[in-house]
A and B are shown apart, each in its own frame.
Chain A
Amino acid sequence: MGAVAAFWVLSTITVGSALAVALVRDLVRAVVALVGSFLGVAGLFVLLSADFLAVAQVLIYAGAISVLMVFVIALTPRGARDNSETAMRWPALALAGAMTGLMTTVALVAHWGPQVKEGLTETAAAIGEALLSRYVLPFEVASVVLLAAMLGAIVLVREE
């Protein structure tokens, strides 16, 4: 019963923050709401006993992506820092509606039976082993992508 109550609280926080991101006027407030939704998702991961994922979500999203958003805001010219109405409103709403419809259909149609026979107590070890044995190629490709991003950033900022 506690888990159900926690689920509803966390979902309200997550969905409410996500709505605030889209609807709030001021850009920095939108980013704060985004961080709120990240923390809500981390809570949902805890509810699913995915401890490593929850902590990684906080570390990467609430810790680092929020700072990325900070720099994005700082580099945006002052006039464009308004989160208000634009002409792209209606296409955006249409796309959001289509995505919601798609996801609801998938959620209702898919078979959500238990995927793992017994619950894992130590997810970190399992994830680590999987990343370095079965999924080592995506892991390495992700490292190369990060390296490319860092080099690109350095090249962009260099003054000749």
Chain B
Amino acid sequence: MRPLAPWWDIRDLGNAVGALLEWLADVGAPSWLTYVVSSLVGMLALLGWALGSQLFFIWAERRLIARMQVRLGPNRAGPFGLLQPIADALKVLAKEMVTPRGADRILFWLAPIAVVVPAITVLAVFPFGERMVLADLNVGVLYLAAISSTAIFFVFVAGWSSSNKYSLLGAMRSVAMLISYEVVQVLALLSVPIFVGSMRLGDIVAWQRDYNAWLVFLQPLALLGFIIASAVEVNRTPTDIAEAESEIVAGYHTEYGGIRWGMFQLAEYIAGFAVAAVMATLWLGGWTLWGLEEWVPGWVIFLAKVYGAFFLFIWLRGTLPRLRIDQLMGFAWKFLLPLMLLNTLLAGLEVLVWRETGAPAAVVLPAFALGNLALTGGLVVGWAVLLGQLRPERRPARPLLVRELGAIYYRPLEEAREA
């Protein structure tokens, strides 16, 4: 890590914090005070960033989806509708928080809180810049998987404590969906530490900077699997079955009103930022941009990548229809999971080959990149064909156009299947 620059060097905001801590030590504060101050600054900064981004993206998402739908979106509250999130927040705060009669009061109160806490806690390991990490754990990648898995249980608690059998059914479906895709997500995450050799997020970013190679080129299949699995984990369309109105079974947060429902939305957005940050750090190079971080602050680059990845989720939401829950689970277990296992095997093989042959990186990495990209395409299409996803009746079709009346062209689907 390079030495501490003067505090006004905003290319790395950790310089300012470092200067503050040095001043504290000079003034004679005890060491525990320095520690507490540094953690507090980090936590408040993260919290402020997460909440601020969420407010901004409430507006941005509605405007973007509206533009995709050939309409304007909110433009009444404030200039360009920028005060819309404030209006939404005020509305949510003013609504009545009803507790259903048979509900378990303690669990009903606990569930929204317990869903927000993991979403915010997971933000602690991301390196926003060289010195801008709250906790650069040695097991950073595993920490990400662990913290996001704790929220699943509290989704069930939310559904259970509502004393509404439809909420409970919805919660059970959500839990089944979440644990299926968690396996896929963790396997997709795993291939990066295998390749890089370390689970520390700071090390992963440093590897991508030193080799001038973003891992998206070297592990495209993992990124693809991670995007899909994360979209499911944060309950976004095309997989927002938990909150869909056209599914009769109500979602797990049906009985929650007011700020309690607001907390569930908060958790969804912040979890969305967290997975976008994972994508930006692990595959897209983190706060580095092939040398541009000498002039542009690293955290600006990182935030641009995070927001770009989140825009991908917004785009998917505006475009794709929803899958049915059993189709979703079939997709996870039959299609994605074998691919992710193959990808992990592949990553291990490539690292082994690299280490054994000792070839220079400039030769090996482009070879791996091309090979992996080709393999990704081949595996996705090939596995789909093997699973029968591209059978004739699963492909798009056109109707017959006839002139004469009276003929019957009906053929049952099973016969078409054998044809």
Contacts and interface: CB of A to CB of B under 8 A. Distances in A.
A59 B183 CA distance: 11
A56 B142 contact: yes
Nearest to B183: A64
A7 interface: no
A121 B138 contact: yes
B161 interface: yes
A129 B387 CA distance: 37
Given A32-B110, A124-B138, A58 B153 contact: no
A26 B152 CA distance: 20
B305 to A, nearest CB: 25
A58 B150 contact: yes
Nearest to B168: A74
A70 B199 CA distance: 31
Contact of A2 (B32, B149, B161): B32
B107 A63 contact: no
B139 A51 contact: yes
B107 A51 contact: no
B149 A59 contact: yes
Interface string B150-186: 1011001100110000000000100100010010000
Contacts of A63: 146, 149-150, 152-153, 182
A63 B122 CA distance: 14
A62 B150 contact: yes
Given A51-B139, A70-B156, A56 B107 contact: no
Contacts of A66: 150, 152-153
Interface in A17-63: 26, 28-29, 32, 35, 39, 51-52, 55-56, 58-59, 62-63
A70 B175 contact: yes
A67 B175 contact: yes
A63 B147 CA distance: 8
Given A2-B32, A32-B107, A32-B110, A59 B145 contact: yes
B137 A51 contact: yes
B139 A32 contact: no
- Chain B interface SS verdict (over half): helix
A2 B137 CA distance: 20
- Chain A interface SS verdict (over half): helix
B104 interface: yes
B57 interface: no
Interface string A49-93: 001100110110011101100100010000000000000000000
Contact of A70 (B107, B143, B150, B153): B153
B320 interface: no
B407 interface: no
Nearest to A42: B146
A55 to B, nearest CB: 5
A23 to B, nearest CB: 15
Nearest to B143: A55
B106 interface: yes
A64 B152 CA distance: 9
Contacts of A64: 149, 179
Nearest to A74: B172
A39 B182 CA distance: 20
B142 A52 contact: yes
A122 interface: yes
B287 to A, nearest CB: 23
Contacts of A52: 138-139, 142
B196 to A, nearest CB: 13
A59 B142 contact: yes
A124 B140 CA distance: 11
Contacts of B147: 58
Given A67-B152, A67-B156, A67-B179, A51 B146 contact: no
B139 A55 contact: yes
A66 B178 CA distance: 13
Contacts of A1: 32
Nearest to B153: A66
Contacts of B179: 64, 67
A29 B149 contact: no
A82 to B, nearest CB: 14
Contacts of B139: 51-52, 55, 124
Interface in B103-138: 104, 106-107, 110, 137-138
A63 B150 CA distance: 5
B153 to A, nearest CB: 4
Contact of B146 (A26, A29, A32, A55): A55
11 contacts: A28-B161, A35-B153, A55-B137, A55-B142, A58-B149, A63-B149, A67-B175, A67-B179, A70-B156, A121-B138, A124-B139
Interface of B: 32, 104, 106-107, 110, 137-139, 142-143, 145-147, 149-150, 152-153, 156-157, 160-161, 172, 175, 179, 182, 199
Given A28-B160, A59-B142, 4 more contacts: A28-B161, A32-B110, A55-B139, A58-B149
For the complex of A and B, list the 5 residue pairs with the smallest distance between their C-beta atoms, beginning with the closest.
A63-B149, A59-B146, A66-B153, A58-B146, A55-B142
